[in-house]
Structure 1
Amino acid sequence: MTQPMPCADALTLADPGSAEDAVRADIWGLLSMLFIDPPADDLLGRLARSAGAVGDGGGPLQSAWCALLAAAAKASADGVRDEFETLFGGTGRPEVYVYGSFYLAGALHERPLAALRRDLRQLGIDRRVDVGESEDHFALLAESMRYLIAGGDPAVCNPARQRELFQRHIQPWGAAMCDAIAEHRGADFYRAVAAFTREFLQVEQLGFDLLD
């Protein structure tokens, strides 16, 4: 029996296996929320009031995190909503794509999406019927990573499965998406989101490299 694709607002998670895993799960959950919808005032406020380290010392990840918090502090929900629509919304072709198939195959709904769906089925993750986006949307992949870190089924919620999903379906194109956001003239708050996302993806890759 498959489980529906996780949703940041609805998924019940087990306690992560370590403090580091708890932070990782929280970050993936945050990225899922930021990429699926523009943040409302309450989320921007929580970010602005946040503190604490997300990386070692004062490295690039921590610097990008601080920049994201600063961007949230000066942003307004209305302004970020307009920015979100400029970058990712609208009718027809968006200014910036957040779908893996676009970066890997040059078009939507191509072979990379079919491969992802196959791998998700093997993990017991099925598409949520109430989510209009395809499974290769960055937000849905981020929430799937959150589930694999902190979900309650050790057969699939483990580092090996996390690495497989990440290296096959996120790492090959995530940085390109971040670059596209950062280079867009309409990006402001989401330029900070993209910078933090890029650094986090690099840290995740380094962590998975240590599993070898």
Structure 2
Amino acid sequence: MNVAQEIKVASEDRLRADLYNFLGLMLSGPPDQLLINQCVGLAGDEGELGKAISSLSRVARVSKPKKVESEFNALFVGLGRGELLPYASYYLTGFLNEKPLATLRTDMSTRGMVRSPNVYEPEDNIASLMEMMGGMIVGRFVAPVDLNDQKLFFNRHIAPWAGHFFSDLEGAKNSILYASIGSVGRAFIEIEREAFRMTAA
């Protein structure tokens, strides 16, 4: 049996990890029809995050993979560069491959995280950071990380810029489906920020 399967994770933490992983998946590459269909099947409550999830479901219902791929490329790839540069270093310093990336690499190393061999983008990409948080919560890298260590990682690598990025994604001129992803991400980051603020240091 896989060690990860034996790890007990509280259901609310598993839901948090699932949302981090979902955002990471949607931001790492254009979704295929299966993933778009999963978006269609989402339903939310009346809170801000729930409304954003319901809106994503409605947009996904009329989205086609080819169109979403064009949208993803315009946003993140482009000719030379996309409309947005989804990197902590860029958002925090105005340049790529700066100190935030070096700090992240150090923190990854101490937590047993390594970049996948088939990933060539800098590790401070928003998709990678979402996947790292999801993995730390459920113990994908080593044992599940306690709340204080999650808070430390979140406050150091995600809180200072991810909300701004998701707001930019909501308002980007090439955003259609990804505007809804931006709304989900922005609402979720705000919930996480507030929850961590209320936890003991």
> What is the TM-score of this pair, normalised by structure 1?
0.87
When residues 16 and 200 of structure 1 are mapped into structure 2, their CA distance, relative to the original with a 3 A threshold, is: farther
Match of 2:115 among 124, 127, 130: 127
The match for 2:153 among 165, 173, 183 is 165
Q: Which residue of 1 aligns with 2:19?
A: 27
> Partner residue of 1:100?
88
User: Does residue 83 of the first structure (1) align with residue 71 of the second (2)?
Assistant: yes
Uncovered stretches (5+) of structure 1, i.e. residues with no partner = 1-11
2-structure distance, mates of 1:107, 1:163? 26
Partner of 2:120, secondary structure, is: coil
Structure 2 residue aligned with 1:43: 35
Alignment partner, residue 186 of structure 1: 174
Structure 2 residue ranges without an equivalent (≥5): none
User: Residues of 1 paired with 2:70 and 2:6: CA distance?
Assistant: 36
Q: Distance in 1 between matches of 2:54 and 2:74?
A: 25
Q: How does 1:68-79 map to 2 (within 5 A)?
A: 68-79=56-67
Cα separation, 1, equivalents of 2:10 and 2:185: 22
State, as a whole percentage, how many aligned pairs show the same letter: 31
| CA distance in 1: counterparts of 2:34 and 2:117, whole angstroms | 27
Q: What is the CA distance between 1:14 and its match in structure 2?
A: 5.5
User: By how many angstroms is 1:134 displaced?
Assistant: 1.0
Task: Tell me by how many angstroms 1:13 deviates.
Answer: 6.0
Query: Retained in 1: the 8 A contact 2:42–2:54?
Result: no
Matched, 1:64 2:21: no
Indicate the RMSD between aligned Cα atoms, in angstroms: 1.6
Q: Which residue matches 1:4?
A: none
Count of residues in correspondence between the two structures: 196
Asked which structure has the greater RCO (Cα within 8 Å, sep 6+), the reply is 1
Q: Which runs of structure 2 are paired with 1:129-148 in the superposition (5 Å)?
A: 129-148=117-136
The alignment status of 1:203 with 2:191, answered yes or no, reads yes
Runs of 4+ deviating beyond 3 Å = 12-16
User: How far apart are 1:16 and its partner, in Å?
Assistant: 5.3
The answer (yes or no) to whether the contact 1:16–1:22 under 8 Å persists in 2 is no
Q: Offset of 1:90 from its aligned partner?
A: 2.4
Instruction: Specify whether residues 207 and 104 from structure 1 end up closer, same or farther in structure 2 by C-alpha distance, changes over 3 A only.
Output: same
Find the aligned partners of 1:141 and 1:41 in 2 and give their Cα distance: 24
Distance 1:66 1:13, change over 3 A: farther
Say if 1:16 and 1:149, in contact at 8 Å, map to a contact too.
no
Q: TM-score, normalised by structure 2?
A: 0.91
